[in-house]
Structure 1
Amino acid sequence: MPTVKISPKFQVVIPQQVREKLQLKAGQQVEVLLYDNRIELVPVRPMRQLRGFLKGIDTTVEREPDRVL
């Protein structure tokens, strides 16, 4: 797992192999999430790009009695 160093300006460089795998581009926005004791960077994707990403998801979950159609 690659490691990065925080610069004096609190900047980090995302390693090339990670950028390529996630198809990140210069200037792209990412959300910064604090989760437990770690930082997560989540790429912001346009809604058009997200279309169909839940295809095939199991929708047969048990629902609360007041949520049944």
Structure 2
Amino acid sequence: METVKLSPKYQIVVPKRIRKDLDLHPGQEIAIMRYRGRIELVPVRPVRQMRGFLRGVEPTIEREPDREL
């Protein structure tokens, strides 16, 4: 795990190793969201680039029983 510091302007720098691993580039959009008390950064990818990224995922999903509202 790597750590970064928040600048006085509330900016962070994504470490080089992570930029390289995720193929991030200057100007690329990144979605930011709060999730269960933490911040998640998710690279926004063009739809064409996402083709086939779920290949091999098990399609059967156990679902919760229907709940009454």
Structure 2, unaligned runs of 5 or more: 64-69
Aligned match of 2:22? 22
The offset of 1:60, in angstroms, is 3.3
Identity %: 56
> Amino acid of the residue matched to residue 28 of structure 1?
Q
TM-score, scaled relative to structure 1: 0.82
> Counterparts of 2:51 and 2:13 in 1: how far apart (Å)?
30
* Superposition CA RMSD, Å: 1.7
| 1:1-38 Cα shifts (integer Å, max 9, x gaps) | 21111111000000001100101000000000101111
> Amino acid of the residue matched to residue 48 of structure 1?
R
> Counterparts of 1:32 and 1:41 in 2: how far apart (Å)?
5
Structure 1, unaligned runs of 5 or more: 64-69
> Counterparts of 1:62 and 1:38 in 2: how far apart (Å)?
27
> Counterparts of 2:62 and 2:48 in 1: how far apart (Å)?
30
Kindly tell me the number of residue pairs found equivalent between the two proteins.
64
Aligned match of 1:60? 60
Aligned match of 2:5? 5
TM-score, scaled relative to structure 2: 0.82
- Which runs of 4 or more aligned residues in structure 1 lie more than 3 Å from their structure 2 counterparts after TM superposition? 60-63
